[in-house]
Structure 1
Amino acid sequence: MSGTVAGVALIGLLAGCTATAEVGTPSTSGGGSDITALVDASAKTPIADLQKTLGAPVVPQGAKLCYITRTLSNEFWGFERDGFEAEAKKLGVAYQTFDVTDESSITEQLDKAKSAANQGCTALLASPISATALDTVFTAALADGVPSIILNDAKGTIPGVVYVGPDATTIGTTAADYIAAKLPDGGNVAMIEGDPGSSNALNRGEGFKAGLAKHSNLTLVASQTAKWDQTKAQEIATAMLTANPDIKAFYSQNDGMALGVAAAIAAKGLTGKVILVGTDGIPQAKKEIQAGNFTATVSEQPTTEGASGVDAALWLLAGKTVPGWVDVPAFVIDADNVAKYPTGMP
């Protein structure tokens, strides 16, 4: 859960932000409509169904979409950005991407979001580091008739904000159920957690534990944060295997950390003997599955999410009703289906 694109003169303003080609002349404020009234907060609709009912988005004159993402050194967010920018280019709408350098810096992301709000954006899209980090920006934007869309992480509670992505809790539960199916006789399992300030980490962890609770023959014997860091994950997994040599499976809350876990498993001579399930579905994870070093990954669809966020913003600008949750579900990739996903991320 990465890269930059060519900049334009519009943005020498922001260090660490990605600027993109402009289309038309962006307006300086939102549409002025009551965006909150257009969002059905209680509805959760798969993106495929929504596309059928709402049709192709129309780009209003002067529209400009702004996306505040996380660090692009994390490959996952690069794919999210790519989906956003590719859809904007395809539809011919002006856009701009703002990224942060520190994956855990809520303050840095808030500053970028405030800057984005002053760049003539008619819709704001963001992947908040925490569930409430950008609430003040979203609230102000909605008051000005500017749609506010959350992509993938940190589904919030501000009325009128649309969430586009999977259910992070379900991702954790899916991992637990998958491990249970692979271990019919049960056994000890461990979890490598992401940053404790991240909503994704918290929700995936809760989902995994809830999933394990359904399988009484599985026992969580170790769970520790590696803060999304591969090296830390390797160190922690090594210590876990030393203290609990009978661990039968690991769940890693992202694939980057899972790479570290795979190295720890290999160093103990346990590759193929200890189940390893990652999260996200990054290209390297799929290579590791093909090589037999990962068992599976619960893959998200960041490219689809980024594009869907563009569509949702434009539908709102056109006055169409959009569900509070645009569902882009995650799914398991393992040896049985990995060949279907040879490159990139869906």
Structure 2
Amino acid sequence: MVRTNLKKLSSALMVGGVAVAMASTAIAAGKISGKTERMVRSDYVTSLEGKTIAYVPISLGLPLSDYWHHGIKRSAEAAGMNFVVKDPAWKVDAMTQVISALISENVDYLVVQNPDVQVLAKLLKKAEENGTHVIQLNMASNYRSSGFVGVDWVSHGEEIGQDIVKECGTGSGKSGKVAIVQGELTAAANVWFNAGLKKALAEDSAISIVNDQAAQWDATKAHDITAAVLQQNPDLCATAGVWGIMMLGSGQAVKEAGLSDQVLVYGSGSNSRPICDALESGILDKHFSYDSILQGRDVVNAVQAIAQTGVEPGEKPFALYTPIMIHDAKTVKTTDCHDLIGN
């Protein structure tokens, strides 16, 4: 019996050895998916070499947009592409002008952060009709372009809402009062984040939304809104908003009111150094973060896939959703955040 098993084992090893040898020969010959390795690389290089990717944020000078800039530029240049950035500095008119100019220049790939769902929709559609692939970054428009890279805002809002319910809802012994600080009312990130947030909050009858105002991404306005809410609701349990940098204002108002031990301050956004600083100092309690440098890399990954498949602009739209990391004031580490990056 032992000898028989040894013979079987020997035969198996011989067959396995032949298989490995055949595989090694195939690899040595460079056969991958029916093409040689050289041909695969040649197709890749040809599809990207000399192509231009243009990046148009709402504004540079913010950790979020600067991280995107760094991630896209570094990955695009590594792929052999040309990189262009245009900074409209919060001016929508300037944004439409630079996008129109890029369309006229027949830029190959256009990466855009939309200020709201409608203002650029027709222009982005025109870009794709003109042959330019459009990747919408983190904030989409009503036009569905070649690709979207960013946060799944509905599930993201739900996730924060569920955490608030756990902290402030039934059985918590707290008031259940929640204040929402919105960003720009017509921005896609704000619209869908708050849809998810409110859906989750509505699932517990002990939760009541006592205030819901827009701060237009402004930390000073968020501060003033929160200060007024606290005067009327000194037993507030939590306040939440879609952008952490804006919510620094809310956190400061909570601290000034001497309620940091009672009111939880929630933010969302890139894991930038000011966010970790705010968590460590108690200005924020929880921040649901995404890595914007890696989002920039994902933008270029999306471009590489589009380039090699040869699809027409807008032909097969897709989304690459970003993973979320939860950073808590009690557990945050210095290494959880990126240092600021200058351009």
Both proteins in one fold, TM over 0.5 = yes
Q: Which among 60, 80, 88 is matched to residue 76 of structure 2?
A: 88
What SS does the corresponding residue of 1:99 show, helix, strand or coil?
coil
Say if 2:106 and 2:131, in contact at 8 Å, map to a contact too. no
Residue among 116, 126, 141 paired with 1:130: 116
Is it true that 1:119 corresponds to 2:114 in the alignment? Answer: no
Change (3 A) 1:83 1:115: same
| 254-263 vs 319-328, which moves further | 319-328
- Provide the rounded CA distance (Å) in 2 between the counterparts of 1:214 and 1:65: 44
Report whether the alignment pairs 1:331 with 2:325.
yes
Aligned to 2:189, what secondary structure does the other structure show?
helix
Q: State the secondary structure of the residue aligned to 1:326.
A: strand
Q: What is the CA-CA distance between 1:120 and the residue it aligns to?
A: 4.2
Tell me, yes or no, if the aligned pair for 2:48 and 2:79 is still in contact at 8 Å: no
**In structure 2, distance between residues paired with 1:336 and 1:270:** 17
Structure 1 distance, partners of 2:127, 2:187, is 23
Corresponding residue number in structure 1 for 2:157 = 172
The reply to whether residue 343 of structure 1 matches residue 338 of structure 2 is yes
Q: Does 1:250 align with 2:236?
A: no
Equivalent residue number for residue 260 of structure 1? 249
Q: Map 1:1-346 onto structure 2 (within 5 A).
A: 58=45, 60-102=48-90, 105-154=91-140, 156-158=142-144, 160-183=145-168, 184-186=172-174, 187-280=176-269, 281-319=271-309, 324-335=318-329, 337-339=331-333, 340-344=335-339
Contact 1:247 1:274 in 2 (8 A): yes
SS at match of 1:72: coil
1:19-66 C-alpha deviation (Å, 9 max, x unpaired): xxxxxxxxxxxxxxxxxxxxxxxxxxxxxxxxxxx9996453321111
Distance, in Å, in 1 between the alignment partners of 2:283 and 2:130 is 50
Q: What residue is the counterpart of 2:33 in the other structure?
A: none
CA contact (8 A) 2:121 2:141 kept: no
Q: Say which SS state the counterpart of residue 148 (structure 2) adopts.
A: strand
Q: Which residue of structure 2 lines up, in the alignment, with residue 46 of structure 1? A: none
**Contact 2:125/2:143 (8 A) holds in 1:** no
d(CA) in 2 for partners of 1:121 and 1:311?
18
**Higher gyration radius (CA):** 2
Percent of residue pairs bearing the same amino acid type: 22
Gaps of 5+ in 1: 1-53
Give, in angstroms, the shift of residue 337 of structure 1. Answer: 5.0
Contact 1:237 1:264 in 2 (8 A): yes
Q: Which has the higher helix share?
A: 2
Is the CA contact 1:131–1:154 (under 8 Å) kept in the aligned structure 2? yes
CA distance in 2, matches of 1:107, 1:124: 17
Higher strand share: 1
Q: Counterpart of 1:269 in 2: which secondary structure?
A: coil
Q: Match of 1:84, as an amino acid?
A: I
**What is the aligned-residue RMSD (CA, Å)?**
2.4
TM-score by length of 2: 0.77
CA contact (8 A) 2:135 2:299 kept: yes
TM value normalised by structure 1: 0.77
Number of residue pairs matched by the alignment: 289
Asked whether the equivalents of residues 189 and 249 of structure 1 are also in contact (C-alpha less than 8 Å), the reply is yes
